[in-house]
Structure 1
Amino acid sequence: MIYFHKMADQLSGITVVIFIAFGVLTCILLFLFGKRQIARFSLKTRKGPHMPVGYSASKFVYMEIERRLERVKNITHEPVLLKEEEDLLFKTFKPIFPMHLYRMKAVDTLIKLENCLKDADPTYQRFQGQDLCMSLLQAVHKGVLKNCDPKPIRQFVDLYQSARHAPKIFDQEQFSEYMKLLSFILNRHWSIIQ
């Protein structure tokens, strides 16, 4: 009986040590797993590359890479959607076209408006992601569209947004209203002719 009692005391000491070892091991594994998950999520949500650009390049090359990458966010390109032949159809004939052609012509017309604004004031530029309404209203306040009423500009922008993004109908009626507002902005309050 005494033998079993000594053995039970020894086993309880060994089991305590084993439990402590398993607890420490579990804490270490949980720490490593948590650290790995945090690193994984931070790399996943980071917007840049996983390695710095120009990691082993000289300082001059690194600065040139950074300069060019900063210029990329200001580059915008609006493609011309209608070919010249299709554009001539709008000028010569007045039949009823499919609605997507009216939408395409409205987007192309905005590109021409922005080119006219750039010709009048070389400092005018709508940056990528900048709101069209805010850009045109800034042009009103800065002088390119000086003395132009903001109300037709807002109506023009609303029709443009409808043509470009809205799923509702954009047909000849909306397109003619869009063009009237455009000519009103260009001819009445502004000295530049299309």
Structure 2
Amino acid sequence: MSEELNGVAVVIIIGLGALTVILLFIFAKRQIMRFTLRSRRGPHVPIGHDGPKLLKREIEKRLDIIPRILCEPKLIAKADPRYILFPGQQIPIHYYRMKAVDDVKVLEGEITKQDSCLVRHPSENLRAYLLTTLAAPLDGTGQRLIHQFCDLYEHARHDPSHFGDEEYQQYNRLLLKLVDAAKLLKSYNSRKSSPNRTPQKRQLQDKEKNLNLSYNVDEVLTVPDSRPTTISVPLSSDTETSV
């Protein structure tokens, strides 16, 4: 009897151990699935499930474009009643900051008006954009002007320190100078491209002259000559000499 009881106890212990291992495996698997679903950015169900492959590709293509979509909206609307001031009413503190950020679009609009290829993407750095586009009309001396303007722009947009009427007036003066420089882009580009055209015209004229010269030389060479190139003179009856 004791031997039978010992065998049953061993079987029970083995069964309990196997059951514990199975329960732990199921619990660990559920926890892993929960963490993966939490950290996953996509939906729980695959995109385009049971749909055609072309539809899945189109959906995934448009979803991949979403992180690259950036926009810089206009902060102050003209019809916004919050910024319509009445006599004796004070301007909100954040008004000058929002106005400074919106005024950058005036400068960008003037640059794109002169050259439609010079469009700034919202993710592009404003300082680098202005240094590349306005470097020609400012002749390198305006880099300090651009740096001052960009410093005030970053102050208005990111710096928590005070940005009021005095700072905005300084910012606006720099903005007007850069707008005047942007108006010279079109004339500078046309002036820059004009010297490239003159050598082409000169090359065409030189080619025409060379063609005319070669044609005249050919005409001279093809004129028949009345004198024979060789003359045979009989010296004796058995020998002849050609000169």
Give the AA of the match of 2:63: L
C-alpha offsets along residues 123-149 of structure 1, whole Å, 9 cap, x if unaligned? Answer: 63424xx3634xx415634xx233465
Instruction: Find the counterpart in structure 1 of residue 51 from structure 2.
Output: 57
Matched, 1:72 2:66: yes
Out of 77, 81, 94, the position equivalent to 1:100 is: 94
Matched, 1:42 2:36: yes
Out of 98, 103, 106, the position equivalent to 1:112 is: 106
Instruction: Find the counterpart in structure 2 of residue 137 from structure 1.
Output: 128
Of all paired residues, the percent bearing the same amino acid is 37
Distance in 2, matches of 1:139 and 1:45, equals 40
Give the AA of the match of 1:146: A
Matched, 1:183 2:172: no
Instruction: Find the counterpart in structure 2 of residue 11 from structure 1.
Output: 5
Q: Highest relative contact order (Cα 8 Å, sep 6+), 1 or 2?
A: 1
Matched, 1:146 2:135: yes
**1:78–1:111 CA contact under 8 A, matched in 2:** no
**1:54–1:61 CA contact under 8 A, matched in 2:** yes
Distance in 2, matches of 1:125 and 1:180, equals 22
Distance in 1, matches of 2:112 and 2:48, equals 35
Aligned residue pairs, count: 176
Which consecutive residues of structure 2, in runs of 5 or more, have no partner in the other structure? 84-88, 187-243
Secondary structure at the residue paired with 2:48?
coil
**2:112–2:119 CA contact under 8 A, matched in 1:** yes
Using the TM superposition, give the Cα deviation of residue 105 of structure 1 relative to its aligned residue in structure 2, in angstroms.
Answer: 0.4
Instruction: Find the counterpart in structure 1 of residue 203 from structure 2.
Output: none
Which consecutive residues of structure 1, in runs of 5 or more, have no partner in the other structure? 1-5, 90-94
Give the AA of the match of 1:33: F
Deviates more, 1:148-157 or 1:37-46: 148-157
**2:120–2:129 CA contact under 8 A, matched in 1:** no
- Rg (Cα) greater in structure: 2
TM-score (normalised: structure 1):
0.68
The 5 Å alignment of 1:150-169 reads 151-169=144-162
Distance in 2, matches of 1:126 and 1:171, equals 28
Taking a change above 3 Å as real, the CA distance of residues 123 and 192 of structure 1, as seen in their structure-2 partners, is: closer
Secondary structure at the residue paired with 2:160?
coil
Give the AA of the match of 1:113: L
User: What RMSD in Å do the two structures reach over aligned CA positions?
Assistant: 3.5
Using the TM superposition, give the Cα deviation of residue 171 of structure 1 relative to its aligned residue in structure 2, in angstroms.
Answer: 0.7
C-alpha offsets along residues 46-93 of structure 1, whole Å, 9 cap, x if unaligned? Answer: 22222232222222322332333334333333332223368xx9xxxx
Instruction: Find the counterpart in structure 2 of residue 122 from structure 1.
Output: 117
Secondary structure at the residue paired with 2:99?
helix
Taking a change above 3 Å as real, the CA distance of residues 187 and 17 of structure 1, as seen in their structure-2 partners, is: farther
